Every structure is written in C-alpha cells, then in structure tokens.
Amino acid sequence: MTILICIPCLMTGGTEIQTLNLVRALVTGGHRAVTVCYFEYSPEMVTRFQQAGSEVVCMSKDGTRIGGWKGIIFLLKGLRRVLKQYRPEMAHVQYMAPGAIPILLLRLLGMRQIIATAHTAADIYPSLRLVHFVQQHCVRVFTCITELAERSFFGTSQLYSEQTLLKKRNHFTIYNALPAGISISRQAKSQNGPLTIGVVSRLEGIKGMDLVVPAFALVKGCHPEMQLLIVGDGSLRKSMEEQAHKAGLEETVEFAGRQPQEKLSSYYDRIDILLMPSRSEGFGLTAIEGMARGCVVVAARTGGLPEVVRDGEVGLLHEPEQVEDLAAQINKLIEQPTLWKQFSNEATTYVQRFSFERFSQLFNNLYRSALADTHSC
C-alpha cells in the first residue's frame, strides 16, 4: 500500500522525529511511504527521511511559507500533483498549522482514506469546531500522542490496541516512540560519585531553559559537588552562559552545544538527573529518551509531561516556572540516593511502552483495520 505522509515542515523538532518514526514503521510493515512537505525544510532532515525509506516531495522549493488564499491555492495545486503522480491509497496528515486545510483539500481531491495525528493538546486552538468537523466528517481516524491531549480535543480517551474496534469510535491515543539511535539500556545506571544534572533541549524560553541555571545555583548551595551538563543550542545560550558567569558557576557548567541524534545516547549516559522545566510540552520526547538510558527525569507539571513522567514512580514533577520547587525536587533525589536508584531502575522497564516496535505494530494494525473496515462497508 502506498501511504502519503503530509507534514508542514521538515526541520529538527519532535514532530518531525515522530513522523520519521512513522516512516520507519510503514517501511517495516512493507508499505511504500511518500512524504510531502508543504513549506520549510532542512536538507539534513530530508536526507534522513530518504534514508529511512521514504520518497520526499518538497512542495516549496525554497522552503517559503505561504499564507492566506495564496497558500490554500498553493497547497491545492501541490497536493493534486502528488496524488496524480503517486496514487496513494491512504494519507496520514500531521495535524499542525495549517491544520485542517490539507485534510479538506485532500477530501476535495477525492482522497477518502485519511488519518490525522495531532501533536499537541487542544489549548492552542481558539475553537474546536473545525477540529470536530474534520474528525466527524473528513478523516477515518484521528490519533493523539497522549490521552490528556485526546481528552482535551474530544472529552474522552482510549489507548489504541490490536483489539480496538473502529466502528465504535474514531479517535484514539497512540504514544510517540523512541527515535532511532536511542536504545533501552539493559544495564542499571551506576552511581559512582556525585550525580550529574543535565538538560538535552533547544535552549529556548518555551522549554524553560532560563530556569535551569538559577535552579542549579540553588542546588549548588546545598551540594557543592554537583555538575551541570547542557546539551543543545538556541537563542538563550548566551544569556544562560551569562547566568552561569554571574553565579560563579563557569567551572561546573558544561555547554556541549547541539549534538547529532546518533550521539545523544552517550550524553544521556552522563546524566543522572534530567531536567525538563518546559512551559509547554505536547509529549516530552526527551523524557522517554532519557528514561531509556536510566536518567531520572524532573519535569514541569505541564502539557503531556505528567502522563509520560509518572510522578513518584519513575521521576518527579515540579510546579511550572517555580525555580525553588525545581531545585527542591533535584535536592530530594540527591539526598535520597536509594530513591534515585529506584526511579532509574523503574524507568528502563516503564519506557518499554514507548518502544519503536510497539509503535510500529499499532500503526500498521491501524492502517490495515481502517482499510479493511472501509472495504467491508
């Protein structure tokens, strides 16, 4: 079966990484994957999709985003060309800006089998009327990446499984998966000497990166032996370096910069306590990457993080934007090494539910079920 994967941009975000997982899942299931990108793209990410086995069509040759009626006409013409050339049996639309428009256009062009996946919760949409119209009248299935997100859109949630019947409902949750290059550790994380605190993130305000160094400074006041490893880059890097300098922490804060996906495991292996103080987070891919390598995650109680990081079971949650609470949760793990060890060991077992193998099984089953159910009607 040829499946058209539609996505607004191919940059280096979590949505693109999960869509890359989707390509890998389709290829594993014996399908032909064609990825169409409407607007911005990076050559690196295009290459990664091609290496995963997908054909890639970049509709905007220079990556320019087009809005308004010109953008709608641009999408209509581009999608018509793609449908004519590849003749897919199904389209899987990543539901993000421009949101419903590609789905409506695909229906207008005759595509009946459409699956949509929302990568955020509903709080970013001023109204859900269009989402509900699309879910009820335009798509075969609408999936979300957390049950919290699904409930925010539709009021109820259900994890999809091989036993799920599509005739009873058409919205479900399928969790994101670990990306290629991050394997689940089979060995317990050793604790030799002081614990290392770390972040693996874009250094941006939305990720709460301005809170990291101040929280570390508070921890450092109680535990002078602590080290902080910062992996990533972004617009806040300079200000974070200035924060470290003003607090006299230059010798104990390491800025490793942005690292390629294939090197991230080695950095997670250096981190014992992984911080995710995000102000908004649809899922929290970094959390499951870290847990797979035995990190204990301290995350903000926001977005999909409470569902992914089970508070008091595999990690700890702090109140959003509260530096003191963030520091307090870190101190709790430092001062209770048996608790840190318990969470670390539990994390590598718990994270199995986010394995690529499970993700692949579920989506390939969903495609088969959706197509079979339609043919039986």
CATH number at residue 153: 3.40.50.2000
Closest CA to 308 of 319, 323, 292: 292
Asked if the structure places residue 323 within a domain, the reply is yes
- For residue 373, the model assigns a pLDDT of 67
Are 240 and 120 members of one domain? no
Give the pairing type, strands 114-118 and 141-144. parallel
Are 160 and 64 members of one domain? yes
Are 97 and 245 members of one domain? no
Q: Are 85 and 77 in contact (CB under 8 A)?
A: no
Angle between helix 337-350 and 323-335 (nearest 10): 100
Are 234 and 349 members of one domain? yes
Query: Both tokens of residue 60?
Result: 């905007």
Are 36 and 81 members of one domain? yes
Asked if the structure places residue 330 within a domain, the reply is yes
Tell me how far apart the alpha carbons of residues 199 and 289 are, in angstroms, rounded to a whole number: 12
Q: Write out the H or E segment, with its range, that includes residue 306.
A: helix 305-308
Are 304 and 213 members of one domain? yes
Are 283 and 231 members of one domain? yes
Asked if the structure places residue 214 within a domain, the reply is yes
Asked if the structure places residue 136 within a domain, the reply is yes
Asked if the structure places residue 189 within a domain, the reply is no
Are 133 and 208 members of one domain? no
Are 44 and 136 members of one domain? yes
Are 203 and 244 members of one domain? yes
Predicted model pTM: 0.90
**Rounded to 5 degrees, what are φ and ψ at 5?**
-105, 120
Asked if the structure places residue 334 within a domain, the reply is yes
Asked if the structure places residue 89 within a domain, the reply is yes
- For residue 376, the model assigns a pLDDT of 42
Number of independent structural domains in the chain: 2
Are 225 and 327 members of one domain? yes
Asked if the structure places residue 303 within a domain, the reply is yes
Low-confidence ranges of the chain (pLDDT < 70): 373-377
Question: Domain of 242?
Answer: 196-353
- For residue 80, the model assigns a pLDDT of 98
Q: How far is CA 19 from the centre of its chain?
A: 9
Are 141 and 20 members of one domain? yes
Cβ neighbours for 329, distance < 8 A, ≥ 6 positions apart: 298, 316, 317, 318
Q: Write out the H or E segment, with its range, that includes residue 143.
A: strand 141-144
Q: Which DSSP string do the residues of 319-356 spell out, in sequence order?
A: -TT-HHHHHHHHHHHHH-HHHHHHHHHHHHHHGGGG-H
